[in-house]
């Protein structure tokens, strides 16, 4: 403010030239002035300076200032050196200003502190400040300050005499202040980050040629082929009343997973409409979405939190290289997390100017709020986690409002936006729960989440704590990956003495440490330079908001551990780590960059090893089947592959291993298929024993139809000369599915032959 061009130099106008006597500092007003300038509220700032500096009638032009306190000095010192601000606050002394300090010098100093100086002056002033403040911090006394002020003003006079083209006087940048690495570190860091990015791309390259039809539809991916919303004409009423797997949600007695994700299902429909199932298109779309998520995460780090270019690129490369993301990209149903996170990143980028106070008009801010809210709702329709991220935008508003204003009395526009976000977030979460009929899953699969069916609440608490520790291990040490962690991959914890709980304690302490470090970085930043310091705490918030819905704390989820659930939490963790490292002291910063780069290269190597294992259903089943020997379902799937290859004895042995892992018969499928093999081998007595256990156990409607088990059990009973029981079970199969052709045919044969042979009454 108050700047006018005079020939080729800039001077501060409409103020006296000199400050007469020494004046004490008024800290509260100084902070207020700094906040106003940082917000760009120049008229308000001018009014504060005018009222405090005695500008106007009654002011002595000769001395320049009245005897009132000058509110600028503390803000200048604090802006130049955080260490000085801390010592000033501790000393509780009056800081005297020498009479030689010019009003022009004060204004230009404050403009420099707020990022408002001409481009041509910035570098020289910054170098001078860094050199002089180091010596000043060692001794804080009146003589030292006086000498420093005199030297500083001399420097300002020299800089203001800059000759040449008139530089443009700029307001605070719309993007956060970026502090690039010094010296040769900048080039080396960028080169290292580019190498990691290239390694990440090479690791994922084979996946672009994976073909669903040739490779097979693996586990839940088979539901894509069975979902009528995917392969038939789009029926909007049907889409809105069926879950992610195409099962009816509102029919009485119907089983549903309650994973309602209509927007993700629409993308599957578009994929099928473009190229059918016999194509690599499903994988290519997932790869593109993953790449976009990585790039937008880097853009958010740069635009939203002021990460230097090399650090932003490192963040992108780390995210793309993390091997835990292979399940999200190569397991087609993992697209829900990809779409959800992509839309959340877009919402955050749209909303950054509102949070930073750069949308000057109310209509502009309202438009951004509307678009960001719509994107967040769309993310929730891709996966229910998205609705929780209204809390991230609201928390970001509160954080920026408090830090800019220094109190809870933020700008009224900010309070309006905050209220809208809280109402939309609360309303959308309640509506989602109401629409799907709650969060609980009827007939919870005890095999997929055995902890949820434990009756002892203490056992559930301890076991879920162990799960949290294992999730943390997957994030920081992803050397053991598996597509399934069902019973009994994670044995139940029954006592606090279980040594495995050390992983949980480590995870909780690690998260607490991240939170403390993030808060320390946040609070150490000057209030008008907050943007570059918010990255760590926002990353922690992303971890928390995305992890809570999958943590089993509020409601049980359908799987005990799912690697694809870590997609968004991993982004929060990486944003936190990279942001914290970028704010470390210079020497330590270079070391941390190197460590993160090395960790990223290791992740890229692990990712390159993991991607080919997902080429076909058989390759991933065999790869994980040999290493995950504690999971009954993994062993069952391996046995199915062996059975398909006609390796009957190996298949039967593997089915028996799956049965041995699950003595309580949480899942009937291993019993059923082992019984089938024994039946075809003519071992009817052993087959009957297994199928008797199968029909009384649990089997998921997602994997097999109930009528199949009752039908095959009936056939075994017939060959065991139990004709009446055989007919009874065939009839049960028809009660479940009256159009079941095999059961109709075999029931007719059994009834007729049984009556003729005397096995059944006529």
- Give the Cα separation of 750 and 758 in Å (integer): 11
- pLDDT (0 to 100) of residue 418: 87
Tell me, what's the pLDDT at 703? 52
Between 49 and 18, residue with greater pLDDT: 49
Q: Which pLDDT does position 357 carry in this prediction?
A: 62
pLDDT, tens only, 399-410: 876 665 544 445
CA distance to 10, 139, 166, 167, 170, per residue, from 7 (Å): 8, 40, 8, 11, 18
Residue 72 predicted with pLDDT over 50: no
pLDDT at 90 > cutoff 80: no
- Residues 24-36: what's their mean pLDDT? 48
> Which helix (H) or strand (E) is 315 found in, with range?
helix 309-321
Structure tokens at 658: 């799956």
Region 485-511: mean pLDDT is 93
Average confidence score pLDDT of the chain? 76
Distance, in Å, from the CA atom of 646 to the CA atom of 640, rounded to the nearest integer, reads 10
pLDDT per residue over 205-239, tens digit each? 998 888 766 666 777 677 788 888 998 888 899 99
Who wins on pLDDT, 29 or 180? 29
Question: For residue 32, what pLDDT is reported?
Answer: 58
CB atoms under 10 Å from CB of 594, counted, come to 14
* 396 against 114, higher pLDDT: 396
Rg (CA), the chain: 34
pLDDT 10s digits, 183-194: 445 677 788 889
348, 356 Cβ separation under 8 angstroms:
no
Query: Which stretches within 406-534 are classed as H helix?
Result: 412-435, 457-476, 501-523
On whether the CB atoms of residues 340 and 386 are closer than 8 A, the answer is: yes
* Residue 46 reports pLDDT greater than 70: no
Q: Going along 7-123, which residue ranges are E strands?
A: 9-12
pLDDT band for position 739 (50/70/90)? confident
> Which of 354-363, 468-477, 548-557, 719-728 is most confident?
468-477
| Span 40-61, average pLDDT | 44
* Contact in structure between 524 and 285 (CB atoms under 8 Å): no
Residue-level pLDDT at 81:
42
Output the CA–CA distances (angstroms, integers) from residue 66 to 22, 32, 63, 73, 98, in the order listed: 11, 20, 8, 16, 15
Predicted confidence band of residue 288 (pLDDT cuts 50, 70, 90): very high
Mean pLDDT to the nearest integer, 319-345 = 94
Long-range contacts of 263-267 (CB under 8 A, 24+ apart): 263/339, 263/378, 263/381, 263/382, 264/335, 264/336, 264/339, 264/382, 264/383, 265/227, 265/229, 265/230, 265/239, 266/234, 266/239, 267/335, 267/339
The phi, psi pair for 254, rounded to 5°, reads -80, 140
At 649-705, the pLDDT tens digits run 999 999 999 999 888 776 788 888 999 899 989 899 999 999 888 887 665 554 566
Kindly tell me if the per-residue pLDDT of 305 is higher than 90.
no
For residue 687, give both structure tokens: 């087959």
260, 249 Cβ separation under 8 angstroms: yes
For the segment 605-633, the average pLDDT, to the nearest whole number, is 92
Cα gap 288→311, rounded to integer Å: 22
What percentage of the chain reaches a pLDDT higher than 90?
35
Average the pLDDT over 618-638 and give the result: 91
Q: Give the other-Cβ count within 10 Å of 612's Cβ.
A: 14
% of the chain at pLDDT higher than 70? 68
From residue 343, alpha-carbon distances to 294, 303, 374 in Å are 12, 17, 10
Q: Which residues pair with 10 in a beta bridge?
A: 5
Residue range 19-34: mean pLDDT, rounded:
40
Are the C-beta atoms of residues 709 and 687 closer than 8 Å to each other?
no
> In this structure, are strands 3-6 and 9-12 parallel, antiparallel, or unpaired?
antiparallel
Q: In the prediction, which pLDDT does 751 show?
A: 84
Give the residue with greater pLDDT, 431 vs 70: 431
Question: 106: which 2 tokens?
Answer: 């004060």
151, 383, 691 from 158: Cα distances, Å: 11, 60, 94
CA-based nearest residue to 243, from 336, 326, 332:
336
Domains and CATH numbers, the chain: 3-160 (no CATH), 204-610 (no CATH), 617-757 (1.25.40.10)
Integer Cα distance of 45 and 486 in angstroms:
62
Phi, psi of 10, deg, nearest 5? -120, 130
Residue 265 in this model has a pLDDT that exceeds 90? yes
The least confident of 379-393, 511-525, 535-549 is 511-525
Q: What is the DSSP letter of 96?
A: P
CA 321, CA 198: separation in Å to the nearest integer? 10
Residue 588 predicted with pLDDT over 80: yes
């Amino acid at each position: 403010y108050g700047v006018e061009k005079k020939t080729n130099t800039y001077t501060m106008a409409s103020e006296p030239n000199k400050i007469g006597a020494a004046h004490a500092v008024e800290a509260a007003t100084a902070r207020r002035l700094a906040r106003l300038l940082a917000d760009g509220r120049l008229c308000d700032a001018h009014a504060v300076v005018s009222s405090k500096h005695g500008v106007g009638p009654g002011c002595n032009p000769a001395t320049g200032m009245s005897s009132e306190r000058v509110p600028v000095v503390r803000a200048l010192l604090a802006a130049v050196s955080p260490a000085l601000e801390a010592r000033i606050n501790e000393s509780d002394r009056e800081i005297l200003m020498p009479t030689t300090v010019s009003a022009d010098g004060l204004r230009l100093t404050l403009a420099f502190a707020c990022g408002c100086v001409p481009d041509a002056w910035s570098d020289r002033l910054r170098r001078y400040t860094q050199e002089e403040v180091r010596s000043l911090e060692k001794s804080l006394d009146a003589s030292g300050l006086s000498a420093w002020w005199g030297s500083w003003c001399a420097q300002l006079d020299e800089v203001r005499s800059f000759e040449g083209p008139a530089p443009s006087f700029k307001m605070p940048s719309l993007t956060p202040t970026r502090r690039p690495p010094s010296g040769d570190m900048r080039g080396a860091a960028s080169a290292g980050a580019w190498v990691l990015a290239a390694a990440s791309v090479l690791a994922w390259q084979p996946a672009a040629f994976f073909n669903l039809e040739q490779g097979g539809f693996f586990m839940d991916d088979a539901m894509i082929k069975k979902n009528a919303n995917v392969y038939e004409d789009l029926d909007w009423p049907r889409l809105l009343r069926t879950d992610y797997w195409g099962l009816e949600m509102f029919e009485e007695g119907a089983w549903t997973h309650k994973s309602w994700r209509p927007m993700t299902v629409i993308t599957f429909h578009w994929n099928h409409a473009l190229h059918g199932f016999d194509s690599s298109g499903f994988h290519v779309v997932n790869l593109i979405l993953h790449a976009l998520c990585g790039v937008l995460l880097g853009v958010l780090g740069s635009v939203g939190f002021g990460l230097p270019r090399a650090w932003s690129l490192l963040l992108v490369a780390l995210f793309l290289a993390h091997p835990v993301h292979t399940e999200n990209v190569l397991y087609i149903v993992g697209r829900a997390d990809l779409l959800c996170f992509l839309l959340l990143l877009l919402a955050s980028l749209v909303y950054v100017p509102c949070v930073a106070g750069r949308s000057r008009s109310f209509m502009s801010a309202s438009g951004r709020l509307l678009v960001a809210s719509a994107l967040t709702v769309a993310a929730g329709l891709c996966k229910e986690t998205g609705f929780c991220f209204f809390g991230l935008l609201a928390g970001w508003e509160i954080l920026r409002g408090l830090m800019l204003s220094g109190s809870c009395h933020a700008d009224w526009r900010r309070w309006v936006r905050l209220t809208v976000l809280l109402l939309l977030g609360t309303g959308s979460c309640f509506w989602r729960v109401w629409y799907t009929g709650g969060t609980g899953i009827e007939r919870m699969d005890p095999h997929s989440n055995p902890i949820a069916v434990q009756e002892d609440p203490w056992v559930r608490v301890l076991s879920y704590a162990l799960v949290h520790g294992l999730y943390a291990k997957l994030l920081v040490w992803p050397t053991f990956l598996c597509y399934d962690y069902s019973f009994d991959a994670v044995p139940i914890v029954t006592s606090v003495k279980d040594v495995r709980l050390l992983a949980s304690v480590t995870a909780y302490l690690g998260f607490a440490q991240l939170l403390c470090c993030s808060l320390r970085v946040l609070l150490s930043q000057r209030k008008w330079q907050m943007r570059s310091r918010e990255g760590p705490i926002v990353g922690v918030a992303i971890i928390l908001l995305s992890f809570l819905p999958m943590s089993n704390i509020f409601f049980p989820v359908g799987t005990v551990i799912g690697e694809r659930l870590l997609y968004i939490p991993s982004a929060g963790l990486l944003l936190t780590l990279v942001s914290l490292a970028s704010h470390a002291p210079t020497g330590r910063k270079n070391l941390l960059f190197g460590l993160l780069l090395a960790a990223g290269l290791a992740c890229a190597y692990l990712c390159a090893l993991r991607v080919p294992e997902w080429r076909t259903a058989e390759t991933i089943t065999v790869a994980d089947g040999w290493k995950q020997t504690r999971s009954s379902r993994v062993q069952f799937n391996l046995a199915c592959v062996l059975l398909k290859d006609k390796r009957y004895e190996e298949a039967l042995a593997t089915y028996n291993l799956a049965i041995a892992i699950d003595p309580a018969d949480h899942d009937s499928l291993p019993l059923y298929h082992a019984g089938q093999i024994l039946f075809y081998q003519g071992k009817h007595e052993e087959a009957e024993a297994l199928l008797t256990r199968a029909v009384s156990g649990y089997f998921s409607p997602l994997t097999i139809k109930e009528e199949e088990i009752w039908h095959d059990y009936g056939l075994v009973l017939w060959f065991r000369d139990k004709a009446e029981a055989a007919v009874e079970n065939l009839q049960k199969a028809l009660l479940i599915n009256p159009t079941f052709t095999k059961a109709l045919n075999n029931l007719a044969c059994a009834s007729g032959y049984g009556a003729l042979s005397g096995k059944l009454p006529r």
